[in-house]
């Protein structure tokens, strides 16, 4: 009873948030509401028992993507342009598309029923065999990193490709930002924030490491850990300045590290091939297949974490340096 | 013993929730930004303390308790600083505070 | 039982914070409301773990307690860098 009430309230808030996003015109406010939307989705995922997804949604959707969009708004301008055409044609298109989608769901099996294809296909095998084959308590990690290692490798490559795209289009403006008096003249210093972020950042990084290496046992893993680690550096960039962040971790160091993360992932696959297994079959990494799986998962999760963390930092650097350069000129 | 612990955590949870609702009413009813900050930030820390203390009483001495303590510490640490930064930014950007010399006009607005 | 009621009450607080976030009027009001929504969500997630009887998933609440703060600082910093003067109203 209470549970369904909670569900109803959460979905109502979700719908209200999306309506408010449509109504508002200040893009900063809209971005914040998108963060709220992601957070509400994360809560709903927790309710549906999908804690790993919820973790990713809270860290990526509500966290890092909000910050990246905000840093983009500084470059592009923060007020919505008035559309030149009337609202009727888009409304008709949206209603038609929605009707077609709703009509399509009529053929789908009932939500949560046991004979759904998703419950019949490979899921029973994963659930039954993963304790013997892989032996880590969090099955999501064993599916993500071992059974579906190819998919995850593809995802990491996508993240890396996004970085290449951003660097090719915008690039990181390292030289122009090296103006010291800019931060002290135009902007008031932020002593409280600087002191407290200095105290907080080590704990954020420690928590990121916990998420990275605890992914075998609880929710978490390379993606979430990488994002949290990048968030620590982003906090440093925000409270100090971009120059200080460049001094802390230079883009020159980060760029190779992003590639090395992908290489670690692929390299693990090559090593398993050299040891006589198939690509990304970690069982051959040690005498005991289970420990082999453990080593393999640790290695590729490290690669994922490295790539995600460095890519997020570099994209943030790129957007912020572009924004500040625009202001200098 | 278990009954006392249960009663205590009931009381703490209710206190926390009441504080939270008080702050929420304040953010709706108060007339301008600075007073709203006052309503939400003052209740925030004690609300977090009460709720998390109530949960800790239920959790006993486990890893869950450690995590709850960390959540409390992070909230205590971040939310006053966030409020500080927010008010400072608003003040610096020239958001006018609600002062007594324009109080009468706004009070009438509030009544109507 | 008591966890269920606390969950519902926290949801009410979240809803009221959302109303303030929708109403504004200045961008700072919205930031305040979103921040309040975030902290109450952290508390909600913590209580909800106990409500469902599996309080092991507090990591999400923990991560959001950190992310929420960084988000608020980010919004402030970027709003500050685009609006130089004015009331901040949108």
Q: 3-state class of A26 per DSSP?
A: strand
| A contact residues 185-214, partner C, Cβ 8 Å cutoff | 187, 193, 197, 200, 204, 207, 211
- CB burial string B76-104: b at 16+ within 10 A, e below: bbbbbbbbbbbbbbbeebebeeeeeeeee
Cα atoms in the Cβ-side hemisphere of radius 13 Å centred on A67: 31
pLDDT the model gives residue A188: 55
Cβ-based interface (< 8 Å): residues of B facing A: 74, 77-78, 81, 84-85, 92
User: Between chains, do C20 and B36 touch, taking CB under 8 Å as contact?
Assistant: yes
pLDDT the model gives residue A327: 46
In a domain, A101, yes or no: no
In a domain, B103, yes or no: no
pLDDT the model gives residue A115: 76
Same domain, residue pair A162 and A14: no
Q: How many CB pairs under 8 A join A and C?
A: 147
Residue A79 main-chain phi, psi, to 5 deg:
-120, 135
In a domain, A113, yes or no: no
In a domain, B36, yes or no: yes
**pLDDT top residue among C49 and A181:** C49
Nearest chain C residue (CA) to B81: C69
Taking the mean position of all CA atoms in its chain, how far away is CA C2?
A: 22
When divided into structural domains, chain B yields a total of 1
Check whether C88 has a pLDDT greater than 50: no
Nearest chain B residue (CA) to C42: B71
Please report, rounded to a whole number, the percentage of residues in chain B having pLDDT higher than 90: 26
pLDDT the model gives residue C84: 54
When divided into structural domains, chain C yields a total of 1
When divided into structural domains, chain A yields a total of 2
Domain range for A60? 1-91
How many angstroms separate the CA atoms of C15 and C69, rounded? 20
Contacts of A26 in chain C (CB under 8 A): 27, 90
pLDDT the model gives residue A282: 83
Nearest chain A residue (CA) to C79: A28
Question: Helix count (H) and strand count (E) of chain C?
Answer: 3, 0
Domain range for C35? 2-82
Peptide linkage before C25 cis (omega within 30 of 0): yes
In a domain, C43, yes or no: yes
In a domain, B37, yes or no: yes
Domain range for B79? 2-97
pLDDT the model gives residue A189: 66
Contact assessment for residue A221 and residue A297, using Cβ atoms and an 8 Å cutoff = no
In a domain, A212, yes or no: yes
In a domain, B42, yes or no: yes
Same domain, residue pair A77 and A156: no
In a domain, B26, yes or no: yes
User: Between chains, do A200 and B92 touch, taking CB under 8 Å as contact?
Assistant: no
Same domain, residue pair A148 and A290: yes
Residue with tokens 């001495």, as numbered in its chain: B61
How many angstroms separate the CA atoms of A149 and A144, rounded? 6
Contact assessment for residue A192 and residue B81, using Cβ atoms and an 8 Å cutoff = yes
Neighbours of chain B (3+ CB pairs under 8 A): A, C
**pLDDT top residue among C83 and B44:** B44
Residue A266 main-chain phi, psi, to 5 deg:
-65, -40
Distances (CA, A) of A107 to A101, A111, A114, A315: 11, 12, 16, 42
pLDDT the model gives residue B100: 64
Tens-digit pLDDT string for chain A (329 aa)? 888 889 999 999 999 999 999 888 888 888 999 999 999 999 999 988 888 888 889 888 888 999 999 888 888 877 777 777 788 888 899 999 999 999 988 888 777 777 777 777 777 888 887 777 777 778 888 888 888 888 889 999 999 999 999 999 888 877 654 454 444 445 556 788 888 888 899 999 999 999 888 877 878 888 899 999 999 999 998 888 888 888 888 888 899 999 999 999 999 889 888 888 888 888 888 878 888 888 888 888 999 999 999 999 999 999 888 877 654 44
pLDDT the model gives residue B111: 41
User: Between chains, do C35 and B86 touch, taking CB under 8 Å as contact?
Assistant: yes
Q: Tokens standing for A326?
A: 């625009």
In a domain, A96, yes or no: no
In a domain, B13, yes or no: yes
In a domain, B50, yes or no: yes
**pLDDT top residue among A277 and B37:** B37
Nearest chain B residue (CA) to C55: B64
Residue A37, domain CATH: 1.20.120.1200
Write down which residue in A71, A91, A111 finishes a domain: A91
């Amino acid at each position: 009873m209470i549970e369904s009430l909670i569900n109803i309230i959460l979905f109502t808030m979700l719908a209200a948030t999306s309506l408010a996003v449509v109504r508002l015109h200040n893009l900063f406010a809209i971005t914040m509401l998108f963060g709220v939307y992601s957070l509400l989705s994360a809560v709903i995922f927790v309710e549906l028992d999908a804690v790993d997804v919820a973790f990713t949604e809270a860290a990526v959707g509500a966290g890092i993507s909000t910050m990246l969009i905000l840093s983009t708004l500084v470059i592009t301008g923060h007020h919505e342009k008035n559309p030149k055409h009337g609202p009727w044609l888009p409304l008709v298109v949206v209603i038609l598309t929605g009707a077609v989608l709703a009509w399509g769901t009529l053929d789908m099996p009932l939500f949560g029923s046991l004979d759904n294809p998703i419950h019949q296909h490979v899921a029973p095998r994963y659930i039954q065999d993963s304790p013997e084959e892989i032996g880590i308590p969090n099955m999501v990690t064993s599916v993500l990193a071992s059974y579906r290692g190819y998919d995850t490798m593809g995802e990491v490559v996508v993240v890396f490709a996004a970085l290449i795209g951003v660097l090719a289009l915008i690039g990181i403006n390292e030289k122009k930002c090296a103006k010291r008096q800019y931060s002290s003249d135009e902007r008031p210093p932020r002593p409280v924030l600087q002191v407290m972020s200095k105290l907080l950042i080590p704990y954020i990084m420690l928590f990121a490491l916990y998420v990275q290496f605890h992914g075998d046992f609880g929710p978490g893993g390379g993606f979430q850990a990488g994002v949290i680690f990048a968030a620590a550096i982003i906090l440093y960039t925000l409270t100090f300045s971009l120059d200080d962040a460049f001094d802390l971790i230079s883009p020159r160091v980060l760029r190779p590290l992003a590639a090395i993360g992908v290489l670690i992932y692929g390299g693990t696959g090559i090593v398993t091939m050299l040891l006589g297994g198939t690509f990304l079959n970690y069982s051959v990494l040690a005498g005991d297949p289970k420990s082999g799986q453990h080593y393999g998962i640790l290695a590729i999760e490290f690669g994922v974490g490295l790539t995600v963390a460095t890519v997020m930092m570099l994209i943030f650097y790129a957007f912020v340096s572009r924004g500040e350069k625009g202001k200098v000129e | 013993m278990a009954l006392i612990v249960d009663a205590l955590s009931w009381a703490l949870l209710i206190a926390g929730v009441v504080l939270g609702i008080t702050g929420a009413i304040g953010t709706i009813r108060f007339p301008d930004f600075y007073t709203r900050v006052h309503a939400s930030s003052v209740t925030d820390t004690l609300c977090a303390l009460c709720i998390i203390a109530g949960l800790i009483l239920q959790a006993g001495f486990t890893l869950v308790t450690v995590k709850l303590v960390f959540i409390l510490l992070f909230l205590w640490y971040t939310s006053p600083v966030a409020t500080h930064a927010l008010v400072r930014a608003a003040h610096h950007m020239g958001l006018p505070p609600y002062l007594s010399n324009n109080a009468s006009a706004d009070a009438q607005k509030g009544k109507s | 039982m008591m966890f269920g009621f606390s969950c519902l009450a926290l949801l009410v607080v979240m809803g009221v914070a959302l109303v303030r976030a929708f109403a504004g009027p200045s961008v700072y009001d919205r930031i305040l409301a979103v921040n309040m929504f975030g902290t109450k969500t952290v508390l909600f997630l913590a209580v909800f773990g106990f409500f469902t009887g599996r309080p092991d998933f507090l990591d999400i609440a923990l991560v959001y307690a950190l992310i929420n703060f960084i988000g608020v600082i980010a919004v402030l910093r970027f709003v500050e860098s685009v609006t130089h003067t004015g009331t901040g109203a949108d």
